[in-house]
Amino acid sequence: MKRLLCILPWLLLCLPSCKPEHESPYQPTPYEFPQPRFFPSVSIPADNPMTEEGVELGRKLFYDPRLSGREGDDGIRCCASCHHQANNFDFGGSAGLHHSVMPLVNLAWNTTGLGWNGGVATLEDMVLAAVTNPVEINADTNRVVRYLQQTDDYPELFYKAFGSRDITFINIERAIAQFVRSLVSADSKFDRYLRGEEQLSHDELQGYLLFVTEDGADCFHCHGGGGNALMTTNLFYSNGLDDHFDDPDDRHSVTGNPMDRGAYKAPTLRNVAVSAPYMHDGRFGTLDAVIDFYSDSVKSSATISPLMHHVMQGGVRLTDEEKAQLKAFLNTLTDEEYLNKTEYSQPQDF
């Protein structure tokens, strides 16, 4: 009996593990999310924590036309078909859409809904909306899952990111959302100025002063400023573009509030110089046209935002010199590192 008791522990070590098959040994690497100076704190969804593997999988899916669930079709699209890194992950055009494409930048800090009207709640939901939209990727989610499951590369990548080689559309949403959350722009000339690392020129500084004063260009109420480095409040405004409204997809379509007719999200002004065309319908092709509008062509309406303080005089009435100074400041918001960062670019294996 004593001999049996001595060899029993050794026998137990030799037995195969009884760990349940559903337990996965995968160990994803937590993603170190940056916290730029002068940015508010960020909150990552608890049900989709960011990992290095998840972000990299999302990056691959973002650029891969196979996200359409088909191959060899001239009409196939992926996220990058409409969101170009060089254009602030904007399109540089309307892509045939009812509304112009919004840039994908610093969306990890956006908690007020996505799109011009805020009708999409989360980045995960945005992926589903884009993939199934007939004028975007135009794909069937079940077909996408079946197609990616048959590829040589994706099952292993999904395992590394989520612990399962069985691909689901939920995990497709999560991966792309992780990648989009990782798109952080925080190193423009203006950022370096705020950090005390670089000086603005005279015209750039005068343009900044115009930006943040009510008796100047009066931009800061909707787009923030030094105290709000996101350069947007992420809120919705009727900004005087029109005096009557027939767009079925404005903010009113989400809230049902009649005072939201003609209201749209104030987009971030980060990298605005490379994000043309401008406004929800892309009506302005240049920054000069936008500045001219806010200076001289604002229209009054029953729903115009009360923050449009100069509406009764048609705008802020800038001089030509002030317009040039404001534009000089807006150009300081261009973040060349962001527009060229390898970690955000198309993977080399494409």
Q: How far is CA 118 from the centre of its chain?
A: 13
Give φ, ψ of 238 to 5 degrees. -95, 110
d(CA 211, CA 333): 12
Contacts of 9 (CB under 8 A, 6+ apart): none
Residue 234 host element (H or E): none
Contacts of 138 (CB under 8 A, 6+ apart): 68, 75, 77, 132
Residue with tokens 């522990």: 9
Supply the pLDDT for residue 226.
66
d(CA 283, CA 123): 26
Query: What's the start-to-end Cα distance of the chain, in Å?
Result: 66
Per DSSP, 106 falls in state: S
Q: pTM for the whole thing?
A: 0.90
d(CA 152, CA 165): 11
pLDDT by position in tens, the chain (length 350): 444 444 444 444 444 444 445 555 789 999 999 999 999 999 899 999 999 999 999 999 999 999 988 776 655 789 999 999 999 999 865 544 457 889 999 999 999 999 999 999 999 999 999 999 988 998 999 999 999 999 999 999 999 999 999 999 999 999 999 999 999 999 999 999 999 999 999 999 999 999 999 999 999 999 987 678 999 999 999 999 999 999 999 999 999 999 999 999 999 999 999 999 999 999 999 999 999 999 999 999 999 999 999 999 999 999 999 999 999 999 999 999 999 999 999 998 76
Supply the pLDDT for residue 100.
86
For residue 176, count CB atoms less than 10 angstroms from its CB and return exposed for 0-12, middle for 13-18, buried for 19 or more.
buried
Per DSSP, 231 falls in state: S
Q: How far is CA 309 from the centre of its chain?
A: 29
Supply the pLDDT for residue 10.
40
Supply the pLDDT for residue 92.
63
Residue 17: other Cβ atoms inside 10 A: 6
CB of 128 within 8 A of CB of 169? yes
